Amino acid sequence: MIAISLMQKALGEQWASLPPALRAHYQAQDNTDLGRLDIEFPAGMSPFLWLLHGMGALIHRRGQALPATVEKRMNEQGQQHWHRRVLFADGRTVAFRSRWVYPGGNELIEFVNPLLGLRMAVEVIDGQLHYSGRHFVLQLGTLRLPLPEALLGHTTIVETALNEAGFAMDFRLTHPLFGLIYRYHGEFVAQSQEGVPTGF
């Protein structure tokens, strides 16, 4: 039986309109993305980002063209685990792990720890994949309690295919009062377990 990726479930018929590089990025099979990442945020956000990183969310350091690796693995419960690693100029590697689940409809939830997650809606617009944050999630046992985005900000992600194997991604966190408070963006190539680009 061929596994169906979480993104394919969320997009439904729109999955067919997703470019090959993005379908490879969201395949159900274990895979790895290799690329470079820019991380930007105002200096005043640093203490807050250290706190968020301690809770498992986001990268708390800035940098340009940072080597980045994103490993993705499905488990037997139909959840996908992402392990991001970013290498900084001083030689330190910073990791960011998350767990993705499919709650239904055109939405996905990314959990950064067992309790906290972000629920996002996805759609394909002119060949690009667009995410739009709905609300944060507090998981208490079997209960998923919504928390308003105003606590931190509104999340958007846009992913664009560059060719048959490469894609660009742009993550933004925008606060209703302070504007853009966090951004990371870069270019990646999705690879199979054997290290072969999977968009070809």
Asked if pLDDT for residue 53 goes beyond 90, the answer is: yes
Q: Please state the rounded mean pLDDT for residues 182-194.
A: 86
Residues of the chain with pLDDT > 90, as a percent, come to 87
Higher pLDDT, 36 or 164: 36
The span from the CA of 54 to the CA of 68, in Å, is: 20
Read off the pLDDT band of 198 (50, 70, 90).
Answer: low
pLDDT in the model for residue 1: 45
pLDDT in the model for residue 151: 82
Asked if pLDDT for residue 10 goes beyond 50, the answer is: yes
| φ, ψ at 55 (rounded to 5°) | -90, 0
Contact 184, 63 (CB under 8 A): no
| φ, ψ at 192 (rounded to 5°) | -80, 180
pLDDT in the model for residue 150: 83
Altogether, the residues listed in the chain come to a count of 200
Higher pLDDT, 114 or 196: 114
Helix residue ranges per DSSP H, the chain: 6-11, 20-25, 46-54
Q: Please state the rounded mean pLDDT for residues 98-123.
A: 97
Asked if pLDDT for residue 193 goes beyond 80, the answer is: no
Q: List, for residues 111-167, the tens digit of each pLDDT value.
A: 999 999 999 999 999 999 999 999 999 999 999 999 998 888 999 999 999 999 899
Asked if pLDDT for residue 194 goes beyond 70, the answer is: no
DSSP, res 88: -
Contact 138, 163 (CB under 8 A): no
Type and span of the H or E element at 48? helix 46-54
Q: Please state the rounded mean pLDDT for residues 63-74.
A: 97
Cα–Cα nearest to 16, from 178, 132, 146, 124 = 124
Domains of the chain: 6-192 (2.40.128.20)
Q: How high is the mean pLDDT of the chain?
A: 93
- Rounded to two decimals, the pTM is 0.92
Read off the pLDDT band of 184 (50, 70, 90).
Answer: very high
pLDDT in the model for residue 200: 30
